[in-house]
Amino acid sequence: MRKTLMSMLLAGAFGVSAVAQAGPVTDKMITDDAKSTGDVLTWGMGNNGQRYSPLTKINTGNVKNLTPVWAFSFGGEKQRGQESQPVVHDGVMFVTGSYSRLFAIDAKSGKELWKYEHRLPDGIMPCCDVINRGAALYDNLVIFGTLDAQLVALDQKTGKVVWKEKLDDFQAGYSYTAAPMIVKGMVVTGVSGGEFGIVGRVDARDAKTGKLVWTRPVIEGHMGYKDGKENGVTGTTNATWPGDLWKTGGGATWLGGTYDSRTNLIYMGTGNPAPWNSHLRPGDNLYSCSTVAIDADTGKIVWHYQTTPNDGWDFDGVNEFVTYTTKDGRILGGKADRNGFFFVIDAKDGKLQNAFPFVKKITWATGFDLATGKPKFVAANRPGDPTKGADGKKGEVVFSAPSFLGGKNQMPMAFSPDTGLFYVPANEWGMEIWNEPITYKKGAAYLGAGFTIKTLDAKDIGGDYIGALRAVDPATGKIVWENRNNAPLWGGVMTTKGGLVFYGTPEGYLKALDAKSGKELWKFQTGSGVVAPPITWEQDGEQYVAVVSGWGGAVPLWGGDVAKKVNYLNQGGMVWVFKLHKG
């Protein structure tokens, strides 16, 4: 009793939990996740997505002593890409693997407690590898989505299925790869499948039962629902879409979202409009390639900001919107978009504050008009209209940068309130892209474009590299420092009050850099490419760091010349856990 009381007093005094909180996961625990240190309850290490830890036991002075504690293999032949961020609660790590698997592991010893392997049907159609990005925790449940577009809730102690809900029809191209998010007792999800002409949306379900509370489509013209009743059409039908194309408009919400309790808004990124051939759909094509801010209680869109209107390059807009507080108390959000620009947006009303490049070569636009929020397009860089080609089958080929794989893709960035910097895993590459005629067919790829990913000339980007971890100042738009990498970066980032930035590379390294200078202080070879974000937590008085290792994702599937450059990399499926060596 005395020990428990002392722990409570210490937690209250310092504003964080220095010990793991046992028992059911509550809404308050999730709200406090960014400040607590004894667990990791959310994707993003806090619903705002900053991926910042207040822990300091591992710091710039001693990180060189970081050593492996244990490693866990996902086993089997199902290696492929491993993009999962683990979550940790009550001494147990929950981590998802490729092919819709979930493992419960003793966080101190690495012993497997149980595993769940979802039975996948034939005919699933994931766009970009058979990956899964993580699970959500609530009450006594661990909840994750599957490649056949289902949402599964398991008992944390036993791994037994408590409830299961179908998100949508996988035979129509729907799938699910993101980590769900818990907001006010609801499990919030998106959908994947933008390359198959699905319609993106955001769903909120009662996390304990799976019952649908509200759903909000993110393509204009589609009806939203709340408590089983109509809840208003999204946007205005045909305002920015021609004909019936809005009915198969894409806009997949495939990366998941963030949430800020101060605004009560869910920030969800939306994907590319369908098809890729932009000449078929003149107009802005709302709300594709946008950040949409949805009221958590009503399920209605409060504001949106579109980063690539009438997208013709598959730039999407799904990248995470990370909220932070300025010195004068404003709540802003940062977003490093696939189109190569970094956006600073007011988190309350969606008004653009700043937009600047975070990669060195951008060909589709020269910048953004801060007054209107619109891009300054380079008209000649839009892929040509195939109906005006010589044979009517292929439009003019253009070279564009970034490539559709993006200045930043699925790999989440981090923000440090100590330095005021965002740490962005960026890539420098381009593509040849052209348009082709296309018609929609249920369950078939709906692109209307062809492409080849290309490396860039070293003269254009100042060196022979593809990936670069960049420290970006959102106030000035300046790149404070960068750490270059030969292969493209595809794993996420974490930063800590100990003055460190952790991230992984496809070459297999987990690295720690000085958050202020970018100097490399430590690295460890995991044996396969790291395409997942690291986490950290405290247990029994010691700070741990963990990351999932396993090369894969979109690059080896769609990477063209770049994929050939890194085809020597081995696949894998491991969780690595580290702590300071005592000696």
Residue 80 is encoded by which pair of tokens?
């492929």
- Backbone dihedral region of 193: left (phi > 0), alpha (psi from -120 to 50 degrees) or beta? left
Tell whether the torsion through CA atoms of 54, 60, 66 and 71 is positive or negative: positive
| Distance of alpha carbon 23 from alpha carbon 147, whole angstroms | 30
Q: Which residues contact 467 (CB under 8 A, 6 or more apart)?
A: 425, 426, 427, 428, 484, 485, 486, 487, 488, 489, 505, 506
> Half-sphere exposure of 12 toward its Cβ, with a 13 Å CA cutoff?
6
| Distance of alpha carbon 474 from alpha carbon 481, whole angstroms | 13
Q: 422-434 burial, b for 16+ CB within 10 Å, e for fewer?
A: bbbbbbbbbbbbb
| Distance of alpha carbon 523 from alpha carbon 490, whole angstroms | 17
Backbone angles phi and psi of 8, in degrees to 5: -65, -40
Three-state secondary-structure class, residue 91: coil
| Distance of alpha carbon 537 from alpha carbon 291, whole angstroms | 30
Asked whether the beta carbons of 224 and 233 are under 8 A apart, the reply is yes
| Distance of alpha carbon 34 from alpha carbon 470, whole angstroms | 23
Three-state secondary-structure class, residue 333: strand
> Half-sphere exposure of 391 toward its Cβ, with a 13 Å CA cutoff?
4
| Distance of alpha carbon 216 from alpha carbon 238, whole angstroms | 18
Residue type, 412: P
Asked whether the beta carbons of 23 and 17 are under 8 A apart, the reply is no
Task: Tell me which residues are annotated as active site.
Answer: 314
| Distance of alpha carbon 317 from alpha carbon 297, whole angstroms | 24
